[in-house]
Amino acid sequence: MHRKKILSYGTFGILMFIALLFLWREGPYVYHPARSHFKGGEGTARVHGFFSTRPTPNAIYYKDKVIVLMYHDVQPHPTDVKSLDTAVFRQQLDAMKANGFHWITMDQYAEFITKRRPVPVNAVLLTFDDGYETFYKYVFPILRQYHAPATNFLIVATVGNNKHPGLPKLDWQQVREMHRKGIDFYSHTYDSHAYGYIRISGKNKDRAEPMLMGPEDNKTLHHVESREEYTRRVMRDLDLSNQILREKIGNNRNILAFPYGGYSRPVIDICHRLGIQVTFSVKPGINSPGQFIGYRVNAGGMDNNPITLLEYMKRGAPIKTPIKGYNL
């Protein structure tokens, strides 16, 4: 009996030790990186303490890289699971500010990607998709309060279009006002933010994919686009979007966020022909110079946990699915 007790207590002790070790190494509440120096320059080391949430404003988590955060709708007390509560958005900004992250502009990001221009350590670019009116009503005042630059990707045909389905969109007066005060606006296409039956090169049959990715098989008209028709459609859409942004707010860069993050070799070739300097996917990760298709970390949605987001950012936003073959 005495021996069984010893074995039971021993087993329990080992399990407790393993559990505490796991929390020490992995738990989002126990992580705080610290600055360290390695041969050949600065690097990052991770120092852990039990259940500490102590801010680390002087830590270097990464350098010569940029994390791009992606948002959609942000409003108080949202009911859609894809929307983020403004209170949580403030928590994210407070956490980034307290832990030494530095917000940069799209111009800084584009120069970093295309020309290897320097960016601050722990650099972060804030991006918002779809041009919702809630951006003007709720997000813009918060960004002003935090002195945080940001970019909104507009579906240009929907700007000021009250007949467009879904959440109300921005109008050009709101866009101009925010642009004068430091918010950037770039293309989320003119009017190709949709899925269709797309014939992907090398595939035997059509499948539902974002409209930019390949020739459309229009089931209603019983017509499959030729490669030439597809190229004309996409070039017309993307070029019109950029033309209108130049006319309305004076853009001098062509930058695109792919709807639903969908891209293919043909649409990348079209982007190069149109002088589009930088594009964005929805794949999580961190960006280095030459990353033509940028990684973006989803920071929106009702289930977002600011502590988990901060932990992922402090780890340097590890890339899970590499984007290969599309560097500048």
Task: Return the pLDDT at 168.
Answer: 96
Residue 16's pLDDT band, with cuts at 50, 70 and 90, is low
Q: With the CA atoms of 208, 214, 218 and 221 taken in that order, what torsion angle do they form, in degrees rounded to the nearest 10?
A: 180
Task: Return the pLDDT at 219.
Answer: 84
- What CATH architecture applies to the domain 60-314? Alpha-Beta Barrel (3.20)
What are the tokens at 102? 């530095």
Task: Return the pLDDT at 12.
Answer: 65
* CA dihedral sign, ordered 168, 171, 173, 177: positive
Mean local confidence (pLDDT), 78-99: 97
Nearest to residue 63, comparing CAs of 10, 116, 123? 123
Nearest to residue 114, comparing CAs of 247, 270, 292, 234? 292
Mean local confidence (pLDDT), 151-174: 95
- Percent of the chain clearing pLDDT 90 (strictly above): 74
- Residue matched to tokens 């949202």: 78
Highest mean pLDDT among 1-15, 102-116, 310-324: 102-116
Q: Say how far apart CA 104 and CA 148 lie, in whole Å.
A: 8
Tell me how many degrees the CA angle 314-318-319 measures, rounded to the nearest 5. Answer: 150
User: What is the pTM (predicted TM-score) of this model?
Assistant: 0.84
Residue 48's pLDDT band, with cuts at 50, 70 and 90, is very low
| Length in residues, the chain | 328
Half-sphere exposure of 182 (CA within 13 A, CB side): 14
What are the tokens at 88? 């949580």
Domain extents for the chain? 1-54, 60-314
Are 73 and 84 spatial neighbours (Cβ–Cβ below 8 Å)?
yes
Task: Return the pLDDT at 320.
Answer: 86
Task: Return the pLDDT at 40.
Answer: 34
Task: Return the pLDDT at 143.
Answer: 98
What are the tokens at 91? 């928590």
Neighbours of 317 (CB within 10 A): 24
Q: Read off the pLDDT of residues 200-243 as tens digits, 9 standing for 90 and up.
A: 776 667 889 999 999 998 888 888 899 999 999 999 999 999 99
What are the tokens at 112? 């970093």
Rg over CA atoms, the chain? 23
pLDDT over 70 at 26, yes or no: no
Q: Read off the pLDDT of residues 50-66 as tens digits, 9 standing for 90 and up.
A: 334 688 999 999 999 99
Residue 1's pLDDT band, with cuts at 50, 70 and 90, is low
Mean local confidence (pLDDT), 33-59: 48
Q: Say how far apart CA 67 and CA 104 lie, in whole Å.
A: 10
Task: Return the pLDDT at 3.
Answer: 62
Residue 28's pLDDT band, with cuts at 50, 70 and 90, is very low
Q: Which residues pair with 217 in a beta bridge?
A: 224
H-assigned helices in the chain: 2-26, 86-98, 106-115, 133-134, 140-146, 172-180, 227-249, 265-273, 306-314
